[in-house]
Amino acid sequence: MKTVMLVFGTRPEAIKMCPLVNEFRKRQNEFKTIVCVTGQHREMLDQVLKIFEVTPDFDLNIMKQGQDLTDVTSRVLTGMRDVFKECKPDVVLVHGDTTTSMAAAMAAFYQQIPVGHIEAGLRTHNMLSPWPEEMNRQVTGRIADYNFSPTPLSEHNLKEEKAHGKIFVTGNTVIDALHMVVEKLKSDKALAVEQNRILKAAGYDVTRLSNGKKLVLITGHRRENFGDGFISMVTAMKDLSGKYPDVDFVYPMHLNPNVRKPIHEVFGEDLTIYKNFFFIEPLQYLEFVYLMEKSTLVLTDSGGIQEEAPGLGKPVLVMRDTTERPEALSAGTVKLVGTDRDLIVSEVSRLLEDKEYYDSMSKAVNPYGDGQACRRIADALAGKETDRYEIK
C-alpha cells in the first residue's frame, strides 16, 4: 500500500486536486491518502474543500493579508518540513505553478521524498509572464520524479528540457472537476434553481438573461498585471459597460486587495450604482460554472478558465500577453488581448456584434481532457498499465 500526500493551498489547485483526493480515497486497497493544505488562500480554498467534501489532515494556515512571495515561500517550506517529519509519505503530489507547489516540492526534495507534479510541463518560456508562476512550474518540473502532463504538448516541453522524472499524459484534472459539476447540475433540477437563489443573494439575478440578454463574465488577478495593467483593463470594462447598456457585466472579484484597488479607482467607492455592471464576491465553484454556462463570453486573465470555458463553448478573451495553454489558441476558442484598453474594447465589441466571428470561436472543443485524468494518475502511481490521453 502506497502512502500518497496531496499538498495544495489556493482555489485553482483545490479545484484540480480535490477530484484526485476523492479518486485515491475510493481506492483504499491501493492507497493511504493524506491531504495537507497550506492555506495560502483561506476563504477561497475553504469554498472548494466544502463543495468536494474534502477535510484536510494537515492545515498550515499560512495566509496573511497582503502576503508577499517570500512570506508564502518561507512559511510553506518550514511548515512542510514539520509535516514531513511527522509523517513520511511514499510520494508527495503538488499541482501546477503556485508558490505553495514550488515550496512544497522543494521541502519534499530536502526530505528526499519523491515528488509527483500534476499539470506538469506547461510553459510560456518567459520568466516574467506569468510571474512568478513560470519559474514556479519550471522549478517543480526539475524536482519531480513523476510528471503528469495534461496534453502531448506539455509532455513535449518536458522532453525538450530533459526532465528526469517519468512522464504520463493524462488530460487535466480540471476537466474531471468540470464534468462532475456539469453532470450534477444537469441531473438535479432543484440544484439549478438553488444556484439562481444563491446568485441572486450574491448580487446577480440570472433571470435577467431570460430575454436573450448577453452576459460578459469577468475575472482577473495576475500579479504581473497589478498597477497600470489593471487600471487599463478595468477602464476598458467601464468603457464597454457604457457602450453596451443592454449587456450585463458580472465580475466576481478575487479577494486580493491589489485586484480591488484599481476597480475602486476606476468605478468609484460605491460599486452598486451601476445598472448593468455587477461586482460580486468570489463564487463557489458550482455557481461559477453555472454562470459561465449562461455567459456569452468570458474576459479573464485566469489560467484554469482557459481550460474550462472552451468545454462549455464559451469564447475566452485572455487579458495577458502570453499563455502556457496554446492548445486553446490553436483550437481558436481562446484569444490573447493583453491589457491594452482599446484592444480589449474592440475584441469584446467584435464578439458581441459579429455573429459569424462569435460562432467561429464558440466551439465546444476541449483539448484539455476527457474526464479520466484522475484515474490515469492513480493507475500510474499504483504501477498499473494505463492509457494515454490524446486530443480528439
Q: At what angle do helices 173-187 and 285-294 cross, to 10 degrees?
A: 80
Among 196, 256, 284, 349, interactor with ligand UD1 by CB under 6 A = 256
Q: What is the crossing angle of helices 228-243 and 341-353, to 10°?
A: 30
Residues near 261 by beta carbon (within 8 Å), at least 6 away in sequence: none
Catalytic residue among 41, 75, 123, 221: 221
Q: Residues 113-152 vs ligand UD1: string with x where CB under 6 A? A: -------------------xx-------------------
x/- letters, 221..240, toward ligand UD1 (CB under 6 A)? x-------------------
Question: Could you identify the residue written with the cell 456584434?
Answer: 353
Here the cell at position 2 is: 502506497
Q: Which of 133, 224, 248, 301 is catalytic?
A: 133
Assign 189 to helix, strand or coil.
helix
- Is residue 91 near ligand UD1 by the rule CB under 6 A? no
Task: In angstroms, give the least distance from the CB of 365 to ligand UDP.
Answer: 18
Residues 6 or more apart whose Cβ sits within 8 Å of residue 307: 172, 174, 175, 325, 328, 366, 368, 369
Q: DSSP readout, 249-301? A: EEEE--S-HHHHHHHHHHH-S-TT--SSEEEEPPPPHHHHHHHHHH-SEEEE-
Site stretch for ligand UD1 (CB under 6 A), options 38-46, 78-86, 159-167, 271-279: 38-46
Residue 253 partner contact from ligand UD1, ligand UDP, none using kind-dependent CB cut-offs of 5 to 8 Å: none
Q: Known catalytic residue: 145?
A: no
The answer to whether residue 221 is catalytic is yes
Is position 12 an interface residue for ligand UD1 (rule: CB under 6 A)? yes
Point out which span in 62-70, 166-174, 244-252, 330-338 binds ligand UD1 (CB under 6 A): 62-70
- The minimum distance between CB 248 and ligand UDP, in angstroms, equals 16
- Determine the longest span between alpha carbons in the chain, in angstroms: 61
Distance CA 144, CA 165 (A): 6
Contacts with ligand UD1 by CB under 6 A lie at 10-12, 40-44, 63-67, 69, 72, 97-99, 132-133, 221, 255-257
